[in-house]
Each structure stands twice: as C-alpha cells, then as structure tokens.
Amino acid sequence: MGESDIFAGLASVLPPERILGSEAARRVYAHDAYTVDRSAPDVIVLPETTEEAQAVIRWCLVHQVPFTPRGAGTGLSGGAMAAKGGVILSTKRLNRILQIDIPNRRLHAQAGVANLKLSQAVAAEGFHFAPDPSSQSVSTLGGNIAENSGGPHTLKYGVTAPHILAMTWIDNAGEVRTWGTGVEGGPGPDLLSVLVGSEGTLGFVTEAWVKLTPLPARVETLLASFPSVVAATETVAEIIAAGVIPAALEMMDRNILVAVQAAFGLEVPAGTEAMLLVECDGSPAAAQAEIEEVFAICQRFGAIELKLAANEAERKHLWTARKKGVGAMGRLAPTVVTHDGVIPRSKLPEMLTFVYEVAEAERLGVANIFHAGDGNLHPCFYFDDREPGVVERVVRAGERILTKCIELGGSVSGEHGIGVEKVDFMPLMFSEADLALQGDVKRMFPTSEFANPCKVLPTQKGCVEHQRRWRGAAH
C-alpha cells in the first residue's frame, strides 16, 4: 500500500490535520537519537485519545500496514524507528495530565506528557515523579515506560517500573486494556513489570497512573575533581562498598568537561581528568552524614577540589555539566553517537580503560558521561560522518564495547533498550533457550508482524534485508 493510500485510509479514522505525510516530516521521523540507521515512515499520526489510537491500530492491522509507537524520539537504540516504513504512532498530542490525586500520592496522565511536566505539576505540593532521565524535559511518560528509563537518581529511587501503578494500553490485536490498580503489589504474576521495558513491542500505552514521591527534606550536592579517571572510578566503588546509597552518583571525563567548559563556562580545576557529581538526600541529619562520608572518601582517593553546593542556585550550577554535557558535545564534532551499556559497578575501572583503548584503536574521539553508581556507561563517540569509513568504525567500536559489557557480566542496555541497534547482540547475551523463553513471553500477548517490527528479538520475519538497507543507506 502506497503512502497516499495510507494517508487516505487513515483520514477516515482521524482528522486529516493530525496526519503528517510531507517529505520534511517523514525525514524528521526517520530516526530517533540513534542516528546511524534510518528508515522513513509513510505517514505520522498524532492521536489525542486512547480511542483514536485504537482506531489507528485497528486500521493498520486490518490493512496490514506496519505501525511503530514513538514518544519524543530521545532513545539511543532506534526503538522509535519505523523499521519497515508504514505508520509512526506518535504520542505528541496525548499530552494531558488527567488527574492529580495528592492524598493518595498518585497522578494520572496521558503517555505523551513530558517527564519533567509530571514533576512540575506536583512540585508545589512537595512531590515529584522520581525517574528523571537526562532527557526529562522532553522525553515522555510513554517512552519512559517503554524503555523502563532510569536517570541520575535511579541509584536510590529505582527505574521507571516501580513508579507505575496502572496503565491503559492497546494490545497488538487492537483491544484496550487497563492493568494495575491504585496500589502496588497486588496479588498475581507481575505482568505490569513485563510490559514496562518491552520497548513498545507488546502494545501501545496511552495513559498511566504513576506514583508520586515526596521531595526530600534536604539535598546535599558535591562536585569532586580527580586527577585521573581511575581515581574517580575507584572512589565510586568505595562509596558503594562503604554502604552509602547516594541519590545520584554521576561521572564525567575530561572530554565532556572540555565541551562543557567551552559551551557554558564551567570552571574546571587544572589537572582534572574526571569529575564526580554526588548527591545525598533524605532527612537533614541523614543527608548531612552521608555527604560528609562521601567527602572524606573523595579526599582519601586524591580529589583535587571538592565543591559543596551551599544553596539551590549553586546546586543547579553544579549539575550544569551533567545535565548539559551531551548537548555540549556538539562543540567537539558534527556527529555524536552515544552508547548505553551496563556492567557490575566494581568493573568500572577495567571497563573505562577498555573504552579508551577501543576509541584509540578505531581512531575516534570518545567522551564519557554516565551513571557511575549504577555501572551504566554512556560512551559518546564524536566524529565527522562525512569522513569515509568512519561510520563502520563507530559501529565496530560500539560492538566491541557491548561485547565487553556482556563478558563482565553486565547488559547491552541500561535504559535505552535493544531497538534495532542491538538486536544482533541478543544471541551474545542469551542462549537459544533463553531467547526461546523471551519469544514465548512475547507470545503471551497478542502478536502481529505489523506491530513495531524488527525490534528486540532477532530472527524476525523479513528484518534482515531491512537492516542491510538501513546500514547501507547510512554509509
């Protein structure tokens, strides 16, 4: 079915102004933040209600047109890419907060509401939505659910799954379902936890009830500069081993700091090779005691400079490098590809050394900015994609890093999912029997070859040729 037929067909179920099909729109929606692979959709639809989304999905199923959910497109694994063309089902207009229930510490919102808006809506009441991916100003609730997103404060508050109480979603047979209740931990198998993190392949989430967490009474923020990456990573290991659970424990290496210094005028003490951003929160006494312990550990491991935020303005300033680091990377090169892998945290020193070795061998620039406390790495390779052969080297470097993550007992994705990028890595991490079990988990839910094809599990029908085409197109 051609794009004009799809456009005309969908116009029978959705007002035409909410269907996009221009060349420019199709190009914008051809990829997410994983920019190496591209595949343009035929049309993009913007439903405003669960019923409208259901009508689109049903139309696609009847007419055998592939459809792919998409939030803000900040994912790093091509999860929001229309792998076989067809329809992008965007949550952009599912952007309303439906109910705020402060007495019961919960909030009901549509899937397209930006993560930060949830917290802003309840901040005056002293609450927040705890998962806070670095993309939180744009990334959506639906996208966070799909990828089981983390963020700097995951270390203490957990990933997205424990913060989701209930969801309304449309399965891949086009039925609307509501799962979960107002309280967590009800009896029965934990199906909600399977749905969260399934990368939008089991269904399309349109609404969710989320848990609200009280804002901490006190927050202490410390920025520590270290003369070597090893000293910083060893400090991380020691903080964890000492039994402190900071709210956040983030690391940035020299190349990130250079970019942030150029972009935002961040002061970096001479001789700094890495910085740690540590936040402790809780009751005033607990936060104070924890930050003092962290302070002492940093000193013991040779920190050059330790800056403790005295007030909220200073705290925000200390967070600048971490929050704006990836954006500032644009200063270093025209193209940036950020990877996402996890390892047991005690392996951080070994893993980072490996990342630098790979970058050198592949002649690529690399900067590291990541959730050190979780062992969740984000090596950012920066390059000029007009240089012949550079994309192959970037892809190869990523593959070597992910292989090492598996070798060290970690995972190929911490918070961005498998998408299309990492499908080939699944057999490295899981045996045939393991993947067969995952296939059966998928088949517990209604399936359709047209629902978000070519994601997560390898050996899906007709995906190999598509993959060759994307990578070919990218070179």
Partner 1 sequence: MIDFSPADQVVEVGAGMAIAELQSLLGAEGQCLPLPDPAEWGAAAAGYPGTVGGLLACNLPHGYMAACGMPRDWVLGAILRRPDGTEAKSGSRAVKSVAGYDAHKLGVGAWGRGLRYVRVILRTYPTKGLPTMSIVQSAPVQSPVFIQRCLRSDFDSVLRQTPGVVAHDPQTQVIWSQERPTTPPKAG
Binding residues for partner 1, per CB under 8 A?
103-105, 147-148, 150, 154, 158-159, 161-162, 181-191, 193-194, 197-199, 202, 237, 240-245, 342-346, 374-376, 409-418, 422, 426, 429-431, 433-438, 441-442, 456-457
Q: Which is nearer to partner 1, 28 or 100 (CB)?
A: 100
**Cβ 456 to partner 1 shortest distance, Å:** 6
Q: How far apart are CA 475 and CA 473, in angstroms?
A: 6
Where does residue 15 fall: left (phi above 0), alpha (psi -120 to 50 degrees), or beta otherwise?
Answer: beta
Q: Which is nearer to partner 1, 230 or 333 (CB)?
A: 230
**Cβ 75 to partner 1 shortest distance, Å:** 10
404 closest CA partner among 371, 428, 423: 428
Q: Which is nearer to partner 1, 220 or 415 (CB)?
A: 415
**Cβ 244 to partner 1 shortest distance, Å:** 7
Across 289-311, b (16+ Cβ under 10 Å) vs e yields: ebbebbbebbeebebbbebbbee
Q: Which is nearer to partner 1, 26 or 70 (CB)?
A: 70
Q: Which is nearer to partner 1, 14 or 161 (CB)?
A: 161
**Cβ 230 to partner 1 shortest distance, Å:** 16
Cβ neighbours for 313, distance < 8 A, ≥ 6 positions apart: none
Structure tokens at 54: 């259901």
**Cβ 310 to partner 1 shortest distance, Å:** 26
**Cβ 442 to partner 1 shortest distance, Å:** 6
Query: How many Cα atoms within 13 Å fall on the side-chain side of residue 436?
Result: 3
Q: Which is nearer to partner 1, 240 or 397 (CB)?
A: 240
**Cβ 64 to partner 1 shortest distance, Å:** 25
DSSP string covering 196-259, please? TTSTTSSEEEEEEEEE-EEPPSEEEEEEEEESSHHHHHHHHHHHHHTT---SEEEEEEHHHHHH
Q: Which is nearer to partner 1, 14 or 122 (CB)?
A: 122
**Cβ 159 to partner 1 shortest distance, Å:** 5
151 closest CA partner among 249, 33, 4: 249
**Cβ 422 to partner 1 shortest distance, Å:** 8
**Cβ 341 to partner 1 shortest distance, Å:** 9
Q: Which parts of 37-150 fold into alpha helices (H)? A: 50-63, 115-122, 141-147
Q: How far is CA 297 from the centre of its chain?
A: 30
Q: Which is nearer to partner 1, 176 or 194 (CB)?
A: 194
CA dihedral 390→396→398→399, nearest 10 degrees, is: 170
Q: Which is nearer to partner 1, 320 or 411 (CB)?
A: 411
Q: Which is nearer to partner 1, 202 or 364 (CB)?
A: 202
Q: Which is nearer to partner 1, 392 or 407 (CB)?
A: 407
Amino acid identity of residue 47, one-letter, is P
Number of H helices, E strands in the chain: 16, 20
335 closest CA partner among 149, 147, 474, 152: 474
Residue 131 to residues 4, 154, 435, Cα–Cα distance (Å): 40, 6, 29
Residue 151 per-residue DSSP state: -
Query: How many Cα atoms within 13 Å fall on the side-chain side of residue 26?
Result: 14
Q: How far apart are CA 116 and CA 138, in angstroms?
A: 8
Strands 248-253, 379-383: pairing kind? unpaired
Q: How far apart are CA 301 and CA 310, in angstroms?
A: 23
**Cβ 437 to partner 1 shortest distance, Å:** 4
Cβ neighbours for 450, distance < 8 A, ≥ 6 positions apart: 60, 61, 64, 65, 66, 67, 86
**Cβ 109 to partner 1 shortest distance, Å:** 16
Q: Which is nearer to partner 1, 140 or 413 (CB)?
A: 413
